[in-house]
Structure 1
């Protein structure tokens, strides 16, 4: 869609909201971010690529969702600038 200069800001907003809601779920999940911080004392998430402990995988997913939100937000801002330039 970017090649065709098509821009749908509503879908960026929808994506951000969905990813943020799911990230919020990952914060409070039994093996989520809070569990990792409190019960496991923020032990390393990057010792191995094999997630042998469930809180490692859940916490990695949380941070991955934050990256997705950041990328969508950057694309949204860039899209708005491009749209303004061509109008």
Structure 2
């Protein structure tokens, strides 16, 4: 019962995250990542989860992590702002990339967690 509650809560989070991407400069692949994560959570909650979907989700999240890792590590080295509340600007692209990195990392962590539960 607790697993289902957490899975539905995570699905709601990913749906919200997908909705927030609407005004992003590159919304489609982020919306697709977050909606796929939400679908994986819902399917797991109703015990209809699928390993191919989880593998695809892990691949999608890993690609996004690889694309945004440089910005995240730049923030770790040079950024002294709070990554969550800092304003994005053209002078500090690492803020956006750091946020995207963390979002993809959350998707990957959830996919791996669901994969372990499925196996």
Number of residue-to-residue matches in the alignment: 75
Structure 2 portions without partners, runs of 5+: 1-42
Q: TM-score, normalised by structure 2?
A: 0.51
Look up the match of 2:60. 18
CA shift, 1:74, in A, is 0.8
Q: 2:75 aligns with which of 24, 29, 36?
A: 36
Q: TM-score, normalised by structure 1?
A: 0.66
Q: CA distance change for structure 1 residues 2 and 42 in 2, over 3 Å: closer, same or farther? A: same
Matched, 1:48 2:85: yes
Q: Any idea what the Cα deviations from partners look like across 1:28-50, whole Å, max 9, x if unmatched?
A: 3xxx1233344xx2322347353
Please give the alpha-carbon distance, in whole angstroms, between the structure 1 residues aligned to 2:82 and 2:111: 25
Please give the alpha-carbon distance, in whole angstroms, between the structure 2 residues aligned to 1:78 and 1:56: 33
Instruction: Give the helix-richer structure, 1 or 2.
Output: 2
Q: CA distance change for structure 1 residues 35 and 2 in 2, over 3 Å: closer, same or farther? A: closer
CA RMSD of aligned residues (A): 2.3
Matched, 1:64 2:103: yes
Structure 1 portions without partners, runs of 5+: 81-87
